[in-house]
A and B are shown apart, each in its own frame.
Chain A
Amino acid sequence: MLQVSKRIIYSCPFVPAEWIAAHGLEPSRIIPKMTSSGAPNGVCPYAQAFTEAIAEESDAAAIIFTTVCDQMRRISETAAARTFKPIFLMNVPHTWQNPGAHRLYRDELERLGRFLEKLSGTNPSGGDLTGIMSQYGEIRQQILDSRPNLTARQFSEMMAAFHHNPCCFGILMPKPTPQGSRNNLLPVALIGGPLTSEAFGIFDLIEQAGGYVALDGTETGERTLPAAFDRRSIAILRLSNILRLSKDDPLGTLADAYFGHIPDPFRRPNSEFFKWLKQMIDERGIRGIILRHYLWCDIWRAEAQRIADWAGLPFLELDAGDGGLEPSRTLFRLEAFMEVITQ
């Protein structure tokens, strides 16, 4: 494994951790804490929390923001005014149906690469990148394979832990939950924006209310994992890059796995998100959908009613308000929701 020296902080799933690690840096997709003072009027509480978390990450070498929403794009300027650390704003195209958008994403990865190279002095070879892609791909697969043996919260936290520090992530499997314990619980999908550290309690509340998260479609969860790399082709890519036998393009493969795969409502059109959700609802036998979104998050809020109408399943919209989780009120609503499912 490459020597890792400096942390690069980000929150967006469209930033490939492999690319940062290949530059000899330490990717760290953080889960911020809600700010106690709340966000200013109009500002997404999550975007605010991420921006404030940066100040606490004293060992960060740089911060990456992306343009997946206007709130994040713009708050990057506020963040830049408050820190001396380098900030990189990565353009993530919203359209995806034409090759130009894919090229733009890839060009942005190259620009990010130049930024990272300035920080670390490392210009990774194709072999370096494929090595990390193969390593991270395997860890992700192990996490996904462990899902049946974990509680929903453990599964989500394990993914978050991997994203937080993939370079040093060892598969420390939490104690498996006896399968029988889910027997009487209703399988629901939890979808929406990213979780803050306090918000992981939602998994427990859902279980207390009589359900379990059979699909974590939050931004923090499995929805935003890149496509699995095909092991054989990665191995061939790696070998050919090490031996300099071909011009095969590991960065292109990486770009496809992220930009070509992650379904999200910010994408235009966002039809792939609906396709993904439909497929997962069928695969996991989902009985109800819980959407958790933040105040001022237009991206998710605008889709709430459409998702409810489209899915034809019981649907609960949890407004994260200023980001915190009000346990008693949330539990009350979740219990009522589970009742609706069983009727």
Chain B
Amino acid sequence: MNEPRIISFDEWDSHYIQLRDAGMMEPSYGGPLRRHVDDGGDTRLLRLRYDNSAASLRLWNFLLTEEDRLRAARAEGKKLVGTMKDLGTVPVMAYSLPNLVAFYPDGAWWIPCVMEMNAGLLSIASSLGIDETFCPVRAMIGAFVTQAHFPLPDLLTCSVGATCDDFSAIAQRLEGLDHPILWWEIPSRRHPDTNEASIILPGGFSAPVSQVEFVKSELERIRISISNLAGMPLDDKTLARGIRAANRVRRILSELRILVFTAEICPMPALEMQIAEMLAIHYCSDREEAEIVLCELLTEVRARVSEGVGVLSAEAVRVFWVNPVADLRTMNLLEDCGGRICGTEYLFAHALDEIREDLPPMEALARIALADPMVGSANDRAQRIIEDACAFGAEAVIISRIPGASHCATEGEVIADLVRSELGLPVVEIEVPPITDAMIPTLRTRIEALIETAIRRNE
């Protein structure tokens, strides 16, 4: 095992050669990180700092080559399903069939950051009237216009109802630009009334049986469209196999998260962990490979934990992080300020929970879709955050506000108040735009103040 360290982009050049000379086995999409800057224009990579393991390199290479995989899949005759908004449900259905590949056009969220605005996607969105009062997912409409970041899917699905206004409104504009969408409804999850038949969902929320039944009927519509697209039925047996495969990925990720968040010395930086979590929802367009990539990362983490080594000091303050950051650099910043991640809720906690294998598959999927923390109340979401923060021993909580996001207007306060009152932990809410460079001093001051408060509290 390579001594774990956080290294700069430039350091990766020589480190890559060392690893390769030491016999590192690379997949077909492997290679030095620098090519993503030189060939792909992913200039943000220059400013990030990375874990130095071969497993992390593979993770990055896998993430940054998704477009190639999508184009290759199309060239092989596979059909592409763009699954918008629902995080972690429709892809499980699509990947159950061998000739379908699902991806999230929503992933364009990060393009303005990774390409440091050079792709011009936000300007295109603005020119269509989708300005900075919308969340960074507006980059997606730019990506559809340029067709430069993913091939146009053969089927586009989008969940609406209890979703953010940003996405719903942007997806509607997409449809107005002649990209037909199969809309499906995810209702606002509510608490069951007295004497109403109810179900405990994965992750612990409860919902009325009638809502689960409704979501099941919506997913049945998706099942029909997916089967038609694939030219083969997505029957229960096939779907059950797909669910088992999805659960394998979720189990690996679950072990990874537990090991990383609870280890005495943090064995894997926040940035790589955030990417790993994202693999569980979209597999970066190749489910089997995603499993291998995560397995390698887990093997690395297991080895580090068993040897008691890691990438940060043992004194690093344990921070629970709420919401994904539009600028990946912020995760580095947390560690610079003396923090480490121990617990996250990046809007898709439900996509990390295992899908029940002992239920009819559509029922199991409906339950997982309804367990989405974003389709219920902010209070519910806060409760889950509190439970996880407790379980992972968090000493502070950061809520990163997503610029323009409709849910961020009010939920941060609800979550912060509950965390303070129930756990007594210090909380800070920060806003993270796609490029934070000009704000780094302010963000640093706020995060450092939080870390200092947490340290004082522990003394």
Q: How far is the CA of A97 from the CA of B183 in the complex (A)?
A: 9
> Are B185 and A100 in contact, CB atoms less than 8 angstroms apart?
yes
Residue-wise interface mask of A (45-86) relative to B, using a CB-CB cutoff of 8 A (1 in contact, 0 not):
000000000000000000000010111011101100100000
- Cα A304 to Cα B176 in complex, Å, equals 12
* A269 B169 Cβ-Cβ under 8 A: no
The reply on B228 being an interface residue by CB < 8 A is no
Given contacts A43-B410, A70-B406, A93-B185, contact A302 B130 (CB under 8 A): yes
A40 at the binding interface (Cβ < 8 Å): yes
Structural contact, B172 and A100, CB atoms closer than 8 A = no
- For residue B134, CB closer than 8 A to chain A, the reply is yes
Cα(A94)–Cα(B158), bound, Å: 12
- Docked-complex contact B378 and A77, CB < 8 angstroms: yes
Binds B, one of A131-139, A142-150, A204-212, A293-301: A293-301
- Distance in Å: Cβ of B213 to nearest Cβ of chain A: 10
Interface centre among A91, A107, A303 (most CB of B within 10 A): A91
List chain B residues, Cβ under 8 A from A200.
none
Size category of the A interface is 35 or more
User: Are B130 and A98 in contact, CB atoms less than 8 angstroms apart?
Assistant: no
In whole Å, how far is A45's beta carbon from the nearest beta carbon of chain B? 11
Contact: A78 with B187, CB < 8 Å? no
B165 touches A71 (CB 8 A): yes
Which B184-235 residues have a C-beta within 8 angstroms of A? Answer: 184-185, 187-188, 190, 193, 210, 214, 217-218, 221
Nearest Cβ distance between residue B382 and chain A, in whole angstroms?
Answer: 10
Q: How far is the CB of B439 from chain A (nearest CB, A)?
A: 15
B43 contacts A by Cβ under 8 Å: no
Q: Give the distance in Å from the alpha carbon of A295 to the alpha carbon of B181 in the complex.
A: 27
In the complex, whether A101 has a CB less than 8 A from a CB of chain B is yes
Bound-state CA distance A102–B116 (Å) is 45
A302 touches B129 (CB 8 A): yes
Separation of A107 and B134 alpha carbons in the complex (Å): 33
Q: Using known A-B contacts A41-B409, A74-B378, A302-B129, determine if residue A101 contacts B165 with beta carbons closer than 8 Å.
A: no
* A305 at interface, CB cutoff 8 A: yes
**Residue with the highest number of chain B CB atoms closer than 10 Å, among A70, A91, A100:** A70
Residues of chain B lying within 8 A (CB to CB) of residue A93? 161, 185, 187
A306 touching B409, Cβ below 8 Å? no
Most A Cβ at <10 Å: residue of B164, B184, B409, B414: B409
User: Is there a chain B Cβ closer than 8 Å to A104's Cβ?
Assistant: yes
CA distance in complex: A93, B166 (Å): 17
**Residues on B with beta carbons closer than 8 Å to the beta carbon of A95:** 160-161, 183-185
Question: A78 CA to B415 CA in the complex, in Å?
Answer: 12
A23 to B6, CA, bound (A): 66
Task: Report A272 CB to chain B, min CB distance, Å.
Answer: 13
CB of A296 within 8 A of CB of B218, answer no
> A252: shortest Cβ distance to chain B, in Å?
18
Within 8 A of B (CB), among A316-338: none
Residues of A close to B221: CB separation below 8 A: 98
18 contacts between A and B (CB under 8 A): A42-B408, A42-B409, A42-B410, A69-B406, A70-B168, A71-B406, A73-B188, A74-B406, A94-B183, A98-B221, A265-B172, A268-B172, A298-B133, A298-B170, A299-B165, A302-B129, A303-B169, A304-B129
Inter-chain pairs besides A298-B133, A302-B130, 6 sampled, C-beta below 8 Å: A40-B409, A97-B183, A101-B185, A268-B158, A269-B175, A301-B131
